[in-house]
């Protein structure tokens, strides 16, 4: 009998590494891991016979492990990382590990500054509702995936029988397609060799690594060089930065998206009428990108449009959590870039014109807050109240932490917005939310906004 293979994951609570864990569970590997803090993602994985600890313990690593995967947030002096090296176990960073299981399939990679999770989710749901066999790793949790971030077509997850199947459409071989979200930070996406590359948009970000906007755009140019010959790049010709990437290669196909039309070469086609139940023009644009991919794979218009019209959003993307004790709508969104903040608040203002908006925004990284400060302080015109509890630290230097603070951000934002408050950490911010909810019943959207741990407040508010 063959020995069951074993994998150890360091930093399992990350949305990406947890998806890798689910992949190896589907391969019947024995999965073990650690993380510094507990979370809902970890609790869900515990229920799937995974061996998890909420600390690190190098003694758990033995020479019979076949692979160790780690999140980049783990420093190389972490005891389990060092023990893996001492034992000579194969060790891979998350993006490398994902490339090893995705690159030999027809890879559909979604990248860009904004909209990666929504677009990759929409593509994945379209494929799930079709007869296409595929795998998917997305940067969020989908109710269509039973609140997981990984899906694999198996006998337990069979293809539905679609009455709208077009003549000539065939069921693809098992796992022929693989949909992933490809992050540009530190050029991590250069590990992937996609057959289809979707670029949602390009707007300068990750200033801690890309020192100029030109270097940031150059990274996407490098990514296009990774597309397999004869592959496809889908991008917007209305975005000035993605325009710069057109036709830098002659051996691949470009699909250009402009307003309500998409074209490849001399052939243009109008989008059908896409009806969405989720607010925001940015979501509608992401849906158009997903429509193109579904169209390319051979899924019928009726099937694609049915999926898009029934889309209700995903975890932490304008997610409606529940109504509070005093009948306000509690929502959560991952937006942490000024543009993401603006489009999210604008969409909520238009969707709920009779509601006040109470926003708790936690900036993600001191460095990003410093580099994009002028844009941040102008991003909150559509909220009535803004609370800044703290700044989420990630890969930040001591110099950056000295140069920026929550109070400094509050003071700068007050130039453009009168009702801005320093929440003075999460515990006090929770009290401010409770007070607001009590004093303004049945009147407001309470929005938890940011990519850090601000979303954890939902679990505290559940018992209001």
The one-digit pLDDT tens for each residue of the chain (464 residues) are 578 999 999 986 677 888 998 899 889 898 888 877 777 677 777 666 566 667 788 888 999 999 999 988 788 888 999 999 999 999 999 999 999 999 999 999 999 999 999 999 999 999 999 989 899 999 888 888 888 889 998 655 665 543 333 333 333 334 689 999 999 999 999 999 999 999 999 999 888 889 899 999 999 999 999 999 999 999 999 999 999 999 999 999 999 999 889 998 888 999 999 998 888 888 899 999 999 999 999 999 999 999 999 998 777 778 888 899 999 999 999 888 899 899 899 989 998 999 999 999 999 999 999 999 999 999 999 999 999 999 998 878 899 899 999 999 999 999 999 899 999 999 999 999 999 999 999 999 999 999 888 988 998 885 44
Q: Any idea what DSSP says for residue 392?
A: B
Q: Give all domains of the chain, ordered by start, each with its CATH number.
A: 6-92 (3.40.50.720), 103-309 (3.40.1190.10), 319-461 (3.90.190.20)
Three-state SS at 225: coil
Placement of tokens 């099937």 in the chain: 303
Cβ–Cβ < 8 Å for 149, 142: yes
Phi and psi at residue 311, to the nearest 5°: -70, 130
265: its two tokens: 């070469």
**Hey, what's the torsion of the CAs at 263, 269, 275, 276, to 10 degrees?**
-10
Cα–Cα distance for residue pair 109/98, rounded to 1 Å: 12
In DSSP notation, 110-122 reads EESSS-HHHHHHH
């Amino acid at each position: 009998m063959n020995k069951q293979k074993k994998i150890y994951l360091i930093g399992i609570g990350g949305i990406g590494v947890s998806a890798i864990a689910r992949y190896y569970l589907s391969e019947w590997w024995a999965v073990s891991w650690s993380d510094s803090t507990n979370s809902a993602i970890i609790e869900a994985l515990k229920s799937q016979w995974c061996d998890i600890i909420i600390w690190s313990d190098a003694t758990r690593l033995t020479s019979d492990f076949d692979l160790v995967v780690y999140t980049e947030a783990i420093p190389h002096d972490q005891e389990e990382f060092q023990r893996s090296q001492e034992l000579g176990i194969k060790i891979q960073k998350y993006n490398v590990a994902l490339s090893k299981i995705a690159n030999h399939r027809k890879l559909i990679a979604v990248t860009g500054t904004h909209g990666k999770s929504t677009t990759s989710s929409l593509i994945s749901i379209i494929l799930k509702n079709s007869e296409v066999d595929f795998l998917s790793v997305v940067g969020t949790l989908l109710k269509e995936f039973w609140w997981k971030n990984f899906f694999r077509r198996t006998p337990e997850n069979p293809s539905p029988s679609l009455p709208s199947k077009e003549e000539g459409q065939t069921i693809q071989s098992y796992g022929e397609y693989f949909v992933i979200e490809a992050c540009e930070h530190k050029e991590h996406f250069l590990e992937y060799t996609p057959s289809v590359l979707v670029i949602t948009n390009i707007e300068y970000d990750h200033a801690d690594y890309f020192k100029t906007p030109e270097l940031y755009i150059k990274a996407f140019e490098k990514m296009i060089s990774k597309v397999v010959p004869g592959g496809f790049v889908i991008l917007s010709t209305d975005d000035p930065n993605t325009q710069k990437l057109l036709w830098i290669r002659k051996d691949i196909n470009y699909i250009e998206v402009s307003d309500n039309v998409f074209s490849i070469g001399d052939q243009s086609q109008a989008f059908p009428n896409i009806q969405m139940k989720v607010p925001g023009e940015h979501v509608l644009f992401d849906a158009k990108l997903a429509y193109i991919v579904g169209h390319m794979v051979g899924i019928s218009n009726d099937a694609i449009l049915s999926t898009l019209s029934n889309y209700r959003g995903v975890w932490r993307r304008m997610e409606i959590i529940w109504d509070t004790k005093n009948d306000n709508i509690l929502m959560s969104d991952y937006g942490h870039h000024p543009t993401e903040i603006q489009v999210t608040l604008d969409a909520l203002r238009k969707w709920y014109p009779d509601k006040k908006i109470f926003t708790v925004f936690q900036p993600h990284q001191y460095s990003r807050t410093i580099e994009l400060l002028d844009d941040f302080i102008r991003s909150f015109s559509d909220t009535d109240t803004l609370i800044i509890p703290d700044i989420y630290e990630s890969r930040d230097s001591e110099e950056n932490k000295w140069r920026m603070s929550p109070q400094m951000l509050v003071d700068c934002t007050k130039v453009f917005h009168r009702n801005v408050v320093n929440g003075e950490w999460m515990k006090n911010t929770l009290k401010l939310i409770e007070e607001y909810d009590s004093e303004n019943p049945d009147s407001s959207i309470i929005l938890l906004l940011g990519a850090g741990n601000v979303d954890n407040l939902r679990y505290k508010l559940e018992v209001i």
